[in-house]
Each structure stands twice: as C-alpha cells, then as structure tokens.
Amino acid sequence: MAGLPVYPLIALGAAACVLLAFTVWAIRRWRLRYSLRSLMIFVALACSCEGLYIFRGPWKFERTLAGHERIVWCAAFSPDGRRIVTASHDGTARVWDSSIGGELAVLKGHRGSVYSASFSPDGKTIVTASEDATARVWDSADGRELAALKAHTGLLNCASFSPDGKQIVTASYDGTVRIWRHTRPEWWWGIFCMLEFWFSAVFAAALVWSLFADKACFARMDAEAARAKSRRSE
C-alpha cells in the first residue's frame, strides 16, 4: 500500500460521500421511499455516463382487476382517467372502473385473441384489434358493437383513434397499415329515409283500408243480389 497515491483515493472517497449525501437529500426532498435495491439502482444510474437520473417512485400498488380467463395483452385508461379498458387472449375486451376496480362491460364479438384496445378521445367509444383480422368499434358505456372493420388478411395487433376521433388506424401481420374514416350520412339521406317511412306507412294504411273496403263492397253486392232474387221470386 506504500506505493499507492493517496490524493486520488481521498478525492474518490469525497466524491462518494457527496454522491451519497445528494442521494439522501433527493429522497427527503421528493419524499421517496426506496428499498435498498431501488437505492442501489438510483446510485448506479446517477454514476452512469448518461448523467443524473431521478425517479419519482416506486409506484404504489392499489388493486387488481380480475375477470379475464387468459393472458391480458393490453390495458389503457380513458381520457378522463375514470375507466380502464383491457384486451385479452380470452377473446374479450373489458371495461373497468379505475377507482374501485369493478367490471363495467364485457366486449364480446371477436373470434380470437384481442391484442389491443383503446378509447376514443371523447371516451365514448373503444376500438379493439384481434387475431380474427378485424378491428371493432364499441360503445364504451354498454359494450354494444357499433362497427366491424374488415379489410386486412392477417391478424391485427394494434388499433387506435386519431386525436380528433374521426379516424382509426390499424396495423396487421399482413404487412399493411390501414386508415379508416368515420362517415356520417348526408342530410339528404335523412330526408330520403323519412319520406320512405311515410310512404311506407301510407301504403300500408291504404292496403288495410282497401281490404276492408273490398269486404264491405262485396257484402253490399251480396245483399243487393239477395234482395233482387227475393223480388223475382215474389
């Protein structure tokens, strides 16, 4: 030990003390509760060549969402954070209350594993992607299926809404990505449907009236024929 330089060792010890003091200060400053392993990781990352890393964790466990029967591939929050949607290998997606962990809806319709599920920006609908080569759109409130997007030839592993909620993008094992746009009926289509309904109602009423009118007409003719026959017999 006689030949070893003293000053570098003193400097290294001082640097280690400063690093340890800074670590303790950081823990107290952000009120973090680190296990010994977390502290070691913190110190190791702080000493890395990438620079200083400060972690605001670890995360506190709250609850478990139990209900799926197979592997759960995906989980995502709704925009308001009140609900969670999960996608599973059991062929379903499920909607949960994030505050109490209760199951709100089960989205059934896919014929295979569901790999992806996400909310629309307004939280009213959910899009899922499945190995049955379809993406499906659901009502997030009651779990009704609103639409099935069928064009891919391979399983889908991802589907998500655009920021404005008017488009959906899907990614598939067939090597393609497809964009889908939500189209609303034109104003004239609504008027046409309304007119068609009224014409159908009027036609049905006229048909019913004609049937009763024909019966009344035939009854009147039979009565006149009977009176004429009785007059001839007299």
Architecture of domain 72-181: 7 Propeller (2.130)
Give the start-to-end residue ranges of the domains of the chain: 1-61, 72-181, 189-234
Write out pLDDT tens, residues 51-96.
333 334 466 777 788 888 889 898 899 999 899 999 999 999 999 9
How many other CB atoms are there within 10 angstroms of residue 115's CB atom? 21
SS3 assignment, position 4: coil
Average pLDDT over residues 157-167: 92
Q: For the chain, what percentages of helix, strand and coil (3-state, to nearest 5) are there?
A: 35, 30, 35
Write out pLDDT tens, residues 96-111.
998 888 899 999 999 9
Q: What is the pLDDT of residue 121?
A: 94
Kindly report the three-state secondary structure assignment for every residue of 53-97. Answer: CCCCCCCCCCCCCCCCCCCEEEEEECCCCCEEEEEECCCEEEEEE
pLDDT > 60? residue 179: yes
pLDDT > 70? residue 26: no
Q: What is the distance between the alpha carbons of residues 82 and 78, in angstroms, rounded to a whole number? A: 6
The answer to whether residues 113 and 68 touch, using CB atoms and an 8 Å cutoff, is no
More confident position, 90 or 21: 90
Q: What is the pLDDT of residue 145?
A: 93
SS3 assignment, position 219: helix
Q: Which tokens go with 201?
A: 């109602």
Q: What is the mean pLDDT of the chain?
A: 75
